[in-house]
Amino acid sequence: MYKLWQALEEARKLRWVELSHPLNNSSPYWCGIPEGSVELSKTVFDWGTPMLECLIQTFKFPGQFGTHIDFPGHFIKDAALSEKFGAEEGVFPLCIIDITDKVAQDPTYAVTTDDIMAYEAKYGDIPKGAFVALRTDWSKRWPDMDAMSGIAADAAAPLAVGRGRPIFIQGRLAAGPLQGQQVDGGEASAALSPQGQGGV
């Protein structure tokens, strides 16, 4: 048996966590995306067509839509885009900093250096090249656009990371700014891409 097959069999024994949301034409997204840029699940070939019995749908959406990879070139002119990255660069050690209890008390809470140091005290140093994810449970607001954007009557302003400043731990980037709906913004991509990596 191939080693990768064995690794897959071992991975299947673990608990898998689904982190994505289904996308449709009512899904919340950044208000700066031009109107008409999103058209999901449009049926262009339906059942009952004499030529061929099948279903074909088209999906039109911007590259920065839903959960996505933000390559450096999205916000840094002439920087690397997707064609510069191989499949092997899409797998990282995952570190999850959980601040759900603090966000429950204050929806505008921003992760701090202390939060990251507390994570490292419990789990060990964040390794170089790790994917650092922040758990806030803002995902539970999905798919309410107003709640995700912080403009609903009972909603707060979208969560910020480090109040707009990247956080470094011993020279390693531990977190950068992000928005409630996606990781965007010039400073965010610059902060998340010091070694040419993108943000997700």
**What pLDDT does 60 receive?**
92
Instruction: Give the count of beta carbons closer than 10 Å to the beta carbon of residue 123.
Output: 11
Sign of CA dihedral 26, 139, 71, 85: negative
Q: Which regions in the chain score pLDDT beneath 50?
A: 158-166, 171, 173-200
Cis bond upstream, residue 62 (ω within 30): no
Q: Please tell me the predicted confidence (pLDDT) of residue 180.
A: 47
The per-residue pLDDT for 151 is 67
pLDDT of residue 154: 56
Which H or E run includes 103? helix 100-105
Residue 65: its pLDDT value, please?
76
pLDDT of residue 128: 85
Task: Give the model confidence (pLDDT) of 76-124 as tens digits.
Answer: 899 888 888 888 877 888 899 999 999 889 888 888 889 999 999 999 9
Note if the pTM is more than 0.75. no
Beta strand spans in the chain (E): 39-45, 56-60, 94-98, 131-135, 167-169, 172-175
Assigned fold of 69-192: Glucose Oxidase; domain 1 (3.50.30)
Tell me what pLDDT residue 10 has: 94
Q: Would you state the pLDDT for residue 14?
A: 94
Q: Where exactly are the structural domains of the chain?
A: 1-66, 69-192
pLDDT the model gives residue 184: 36
Angle at 71 between CA 65 and CA 74, to 5 degrees: 70
